[in-house]
Amino acid sequence: MKRDLRTRDLLIEHPVIDLLATCVLVGGHFLVVSRYGHGDFIGWIAASNRHELYGVGAAVIAIIFGFSAAAVAHYAGASGARAKYAKSKFGAALRRQWMGTLVLPGLGAFACLLALALDLAEGGGVTAARWIFETAVVLSLFKFVRAMHLFQAMLDVTDLDAVDQGRVTAPAVGAAWRDRSDQPAA
């Protein structure tokens, strides 16, 4: 259990792991395609459909960018005791994490548009545009998972802060309210 937490913390505390994992996945896929000629699923799509795929990819990544921006706004607005402690103790690391979840999906959306502009090939050969697109999508997915993990952690913190504020006592019900004329008879 403790080892699982340390592994999870290691993954969360080092956002460069997203870049490394993307390089391994996309690089491994590139090696399989270039060596064996199998698995070029984007290359199998007709050029006009690839262009649509790149546009949809840019839109989806832009939506991820929007989710990240909303999560950052939630983080910035958190003001309970736990949130203040987390910001003071881990503020620099949290800012790096949040900036990474904002900047890289934004760049990923632009990379999809670049792939759209560069992919002029009609055949199924390997082109740089398809690999740019695949890299942008994979990296954006890793950043999405990271953003959702960070967002969940901040929601947990703000929920706990909200519970600590306690309940406000209900106002006392006096005889004047109890005996008013609009109340049905018991």
Most confident of 35-39, 73-77, 78-82, 125-129: 35-39
Please tell me the least confidently modeled range out of 66-75, 93-102, 109-118, 177-186. 177-186
Q: Above 70 in pLDDT, residue 164? A: no
Q: Residue 134 — pLDDT band, cuts 50, 70, 90?
A: very high
127/41 Cα distance (integer angstroms): 13
Q: Closest by alpha carbon to 58, among 122, 145, 140?
A: 140
Q: Does residue 96 carry a pLDDT above 90?
A: no
61 alpha-carbon distance from chain centroid = 10
Other CB atoms closer than 10 Å to residue 143's CB: what's the count? 28
Q: Where are the beta strands (DSSP E) in the chain?
A: none
* Of 65, 72, 63, 64, residue with least CA distance to 150: 72
pLDDT of residue 43: 81
Q: What is the pLDDT of residues 140-150, one digit of tens each?
A: 998 888 888 88
* 126 has pLDDT over 60: no
Instruction: Name which of 62, 150, 74, 162 is nearest 106 in CA terms.
Output: 62
User: Token pair for residue 174?
Assistant: 């006096």
Residue position matching structure tokens 């003071």: 88
pLDDT of residue 8: 66
pLDDT of residue 89: 84
Distance CA 106, CA 141 (A): 12
Please, are residues 124 and 43 in contact by the beta-carbon 8 Å criterion? Answer: yes
Q: How far apart are CA 84 and CA 133, in angstroms?
A: 39
Terminal alpha carbon distance of the chain: 58
Which alpha helices (H) appear in the chain, and where do they start and end?
A: 2-13, 16-36, 47-77, 81-118, 128-164, 175-178
- pLDDT at position 132: 93
What's the whole-model pTM score? Answer: 0.74
